[in-house]
Structure 1
Amino acid sequence: MDLVRLQPATISFFGQIPGASPTIPGMFPNMFPLATGQQFPALPVMPVQAMTQQATRHARRVYVGGLPPTANEQSVATFFSQVMAAIGGNTAGPGDAVVNVYINHEKKFAFVEMRSVEEASNAMALDGIIFEGAPVKVRRPSDYNPSLAATLGPSQPNPNLNLAAVGLTPGSAGGLEGPDRIFVGGLPYYFTEAQIKELLESFGPLRGFDLVKDRETGNSKGYAFCVYQDLSVTDIACAALNGIKMGDKTLTVRRANQGANQPKPEQESVLLHAQQQIALQRFMLLQQPGAAASKVVCLTQVVSADELRDDEEYEDIVEDMRQEGGKFGPLASVVIPRPLPDGQPSPGVGKVFLEYVDADSASKARAGLNGRKFGGNQVVAVFYPENKFAEADYDG
């Protein structure tokens, strides 16, 4: 919002009559030589309200990204004012919550300024809301100062907002801002939200969680964001989870706005306990019978690229896998991707795919092979999507 044009205010001293030379106690009249009838010049004064608005602006604005080309300042202002009223997010009294909108049409984003810091924080719960047929991102602007904002008002959305009134799921992405926001990458695509949250909550309850999905298919993109209610466990969770093998993937877990932090020395004992929890949790997740059942089982940590280069050794490995896998039911095929002769990367190298005739045999194989040791390595066995296997897509 543009600053209100400030009209100069005239300062009068102790009720002096206009036109007379002012007399100030403790000062001689000739200290300020003025011509007869001349007054002190008017001094511009900025109202306290205007100064407060300027100081709180960074905490009263929200960034809205992904706007459709048809969006304009009026439509954005009207939409967010109506939505804020619908969810019960207006806390500054009657009237519209939005006081100003600036749109960058070229880059399809806007800065939406609210009346109060608390209303801006409530607006953060609107991330992903559908505006003119498209979901939009609602974030803090780049000049947002979390430590300063904390002194100005609530920095998180009110947990009692009626988000269902505008088609949003309460608690799905709310509270996912600030320096303690965690990026969780390398998630197996077949892991459900419930499984991922169960893993993360080994360290404590979550304030917010968001599994990123493809807009068209609704499938997981393999990464998520979360924030813990107890912010002191942020670094512990990152250190314990980062690098953990989960199925056929390796997790990358760090603060979203910076590289991975090393835990403080006093956290080492807590971290050791946390890693033990993760090992147990990982085993439980992999053993859950209802996790994306498939006729194809993928084994990792069984073979290395070097072992697959020699033709005879490769054939021996295939036969060994056929015999071991056949103990759980009839096999339709055994696929073990090999490295390319020219040394170029080859999808799926290091994995063994066992395709069974029926899903029951595959379930038995996954349960029986997971955790077994082959050549000193502890095997990880997971279901693999049948459609990807049929398309020879071994990177999933």
Structure 2
Amino acid sequence: MFPNLFPTPNGQQFGSLPVMPIQAMTQQATRHARRVYVGGLPPSANEQTVATYFSQVMAAIGGNTAGPGMGDAVVNVYINHEKKFAFVEMRSVEEASNAMALDGIIFEGAPVKVRRPSDYNPSLAAALGPSQPSANLNLAAVGLNPGSSGGLEGPDRVFVGGLPYYFTEPQIRELLESFGALRGFDLVRDRETGNSKGYAFCVYQDVAVTDVACAALNGIKMGDKTLTVRRANQGSSQPRPEQESVLLHAQQQIAIQLVLLMLAVFLQRLMLQPPATKVVCLTQVVTVDELRDDDEYEEIMEDMRTESSKFGTLVSVVIPRPQLDGSASPGVGKVFLEYAGVDGATNARAGMNGRKFGGNEVVAVFYPENKYYAGEYDG
């Protein structure tokens, strides 16, 4: 009777169908919450050194949850050597959350970033185990200060977008701290060039000010950019009625802070601007991936020659490319334009600074001629 009601392929009986072991099903379901992303690895890193290091560090801070003698916290490591990052799979969801407190730890002489992977699902993870690091971790045992840059997970994490690329980290922190001290802050930078990508994340020590800060900062004009400030895991949030008076005062304070901040940035850029030369350096123009491809590189070079010649007699164009082995190369991400005279360079700097190129705002500055002629492009 039952085989007729519920037919199976090729007449198989239910008892003969392959069944995935319960343990394997559980591991697959929790995998997104048991993995952590580790970025900024040195070239010498390999799967074994990463696994050994993070297992030892987890034990040192008291981040293991299985107890002494139960093996290492790290069960698997995958490394992308070209892009210098790894996915480190932990034994449990709780241990993965504890590992999030290791952001900024020094691995083989270099600080590394520890983040959730892109497939991490906060809503599903909440039912699998703790999503925040334990408050009892001994981070000082591995040279970390609690709250320095970690703690940027959870519902109170704030996304800050639309930041001018020339804003420094201290200037952004000063703006955000108009509403209170920060528990964590992370200015997102390009992994290859180290330049700001124009957005950041933060968490306030007093989470009660989060919505007030978002409402006060969101939509503010900064130069030709507009800030987008909201809770990272939600849409725009509105302050509660009892917060409205606080919000009004905060908006008044932030207006003053912005005037002072913009003045400071203007003066800083004025002082940092080198004297006029025959060479102009452009940043925020090209990406590392574009420079790797020969055809794209030639197209970019030709476009630069055509566009730059409009401002004066162009003598040479230099666009440094990354090394074939992926190692760092001075000046990658910059474009150097040499003109026959200072007038051409001055016109180019004025005409190209602030223009949009590939969605980014170009920054154009004069570059020392002696360094350019010596092939020194890291200035």
TM-score, normalised by the number of residues in structure 1: 0.52
Is the CA contact (8 Å cut-off) linking 2:175 and 2:258 kept in structure 1? no
Partner of 2:28: 54
Inter-partner Cα distance in structure 2 for 1:286 and 1:101: 48
Inter-partner Cα distance in structure 2 for 1:243 and 1:276: 17
Partner of 1:277: 250
After superposition, the C-alpha distances for 1:91-126 in whole angstroms (9 at most, x for unaligned) are 122221101111122222111111110100011111
Give the alignment's Cα RMSD to 1 decimal.
4.8
Partner of 1:36: none
Q: How has the CA–CA distance of structure 1 residues 256 and 63 changed in structure 2, closer, same or farther, with 3 Å as cutoff?
A: farther
How much has 1:127 moved relative to structure 2?
Answer: 1.2
How much has 1:87 moved relative to structure 2?
Answer: 1.3
Is the CA contact (8 Å cut-off) linking 1:157 and 1:174 kept in structure 2? no
Inter-partner Cα distance in structure 2 for 1:231 and 1:241: 16
After superposition, the C-alpha distances for 1:175-194 in whole angstroms (9 at most, x for unaligned) are 21356532333595484687
Partner of 2:60: 86
**Aligned 1:131-170 pairs, distance under 5 A:** 131-170=107-146
Q: Does 1:127 align with 2:100?
A: no
Q: Does 1:182 align with 2:161?
A: no
Q: How has the CA–CA distance of structure 1 residues 44 and 262 changed in structure 2, closer, same or farther, with 3 Å as cutoff?
A: closer
Once the two structures are overlaid, the 10-residue window that deviates more, 248-257 or 107-116, is: 248-257
After superposition, the C-alpha distances for 1:321-377 in whole angstroms (9 at most, x for unaligned) are xxxxxxxxxxxxxxxxxx989984778xxxxxxxxxxxxxxxxxxxxxxxxxxxxxx
Inter-partner Cα distance in structure 1 for 2:202 and 2:98: 18
Inter-partner Cα distance in structure 2 for 1:129 and 1:84: 12
Is the CA contact (8 Å cut-off) linking 1:340 and 1:346 kept in structure 2? no
Partner of 2:332: none
Q: How has the CA–CA distance of structure 1 residues 297 and 125 changed in structure 2, closer, same or farther, with 3 Å as cutoff?
A: closer
**Aligned 1:363-374 pairs, distance under 5 A:** none
Q: How has the CA–CA distance of structure 1 residues 51 and 189 changed in structure 2, closer, same or farther, with 3 Å as cutoff?
A: closer
**Aligned 1:1-396 pairs, distance under 5 A:** 44-94=18-68, 95-177=71-153, 181-184=157-160, 185-186=163-164, 189=168, 191=170, 195-196=174-175, 198-201=177-180, 206-210=182-186, 224-228=200-204, 234=210, 236-244=212-220, 252-255=227-230, 261-264=235-238, 267=240, 270=243, 273-280=246-253, 283=256, 344=351
Uncovered stretches (5+) of structure 2, i.e. residues with no partner: 2-12, 271-345, 355-364, 369-379
Is the CA contact (8 Å cut-off) linking 2:221 and 2:227 kept in structure 1? no
After superposition, the C-alpha distances for 1:15-43 in whole angstroms (9 at most, x for unaligned) are xxxxxxxxxxxx9xxxxxxxxxxx99766
Q: How has the CA–CA distance of structure 1 residues 343 and 166 changed in structure 2, closer, same or farther, with 3 Å as cutoff?
A: closer
Partner of 2:338: none
Is the CA contact (8 Å cut-off) linking 2:148 and 2:183 kept in structure 1? no
Is the CA contact (8 Å cut-off) linking 2:216 and 2:251 kept in structure 1? yes
What one-letter code is carried by the residue in structure 1 that aligns with 2:67?
A: G
How much has 1:263 moved relative to structure 2?
Answer: 4.2
Is the CA contact (8 Å cut-off) linking 1:123 and 1:157 kept in structure 2? yes
Is the CA contact (8 Å cut-off) linking 2:218 and 2:230 kept in structure 1? no
Q: How has the CA–CA distance of structure 1 residues 169 and 210 changed in structure 2, closer, same or farther, with 3 Å as cutoff?
A: farther
Inter-partner Cα distance in structure 1 for 2:44 and 2:353: 45
Q: How has the CA–CA distance of structure 1 residues 97 and 162 changed in structure 2, closer, same or farther, with 3 Å as cutoff?
A: same
Is the CA contact (8 Å cut-off) linking 1:182 and 1:253 kept in structure 2? no
SS in 1 for 2:88: strand
After superposition, the C-alpha distances for 1:285-330 in whole angstroms (9 at most, x for unaligned) are 9889xxx9xx9999xxxxxxxxxxxxxxxxxxxxxxxxxxxxxxxx
Once the two structures are aligned, what percentage of the paired residues are identical? Answer: 67
Inter-partner Cα distance in structure 2 for 1:190 and 1:106: 28
Q: Who wins on radius of gyration, i.e. which is larger? A: 1
Inter-partner Cα distance in structure 2 for 1:210 and 1:142: 17
Inter-partner Cα distance in structure 2 for 1:121 and 1:238: 26
Higher percent of residues as helix: 2
SS in 1 for 2:36: strand
How much has 1:236 moved relative to structure 2?
Answer: 4.4
Q: How has the CA–CA distance of structure 1 residues 174 and 346 changed in structure 2, closer, same or farther, with 3 Å as cutoff?
A: closer
Partner of 1:335: none
After superposition, the C-alpha distances for 1:113-155 in whole angstroms (9 at most, x for unaligned) are 1111010001111112111122211111111110010011110
Q: How has the CA–CA distance of structure 1 residues 197 and 136 changed in structure 2, closer, same or farther, with 3 Å as cutoff?
A: same
SS in 2 for 1:111: strand
SS in 2 for 1:89: coil
How much has 1:55 moved relative to structure 2?
Answer: 1.2
Inter-partner Cα distance in structure 1 for 2:120 and 2:211: 22
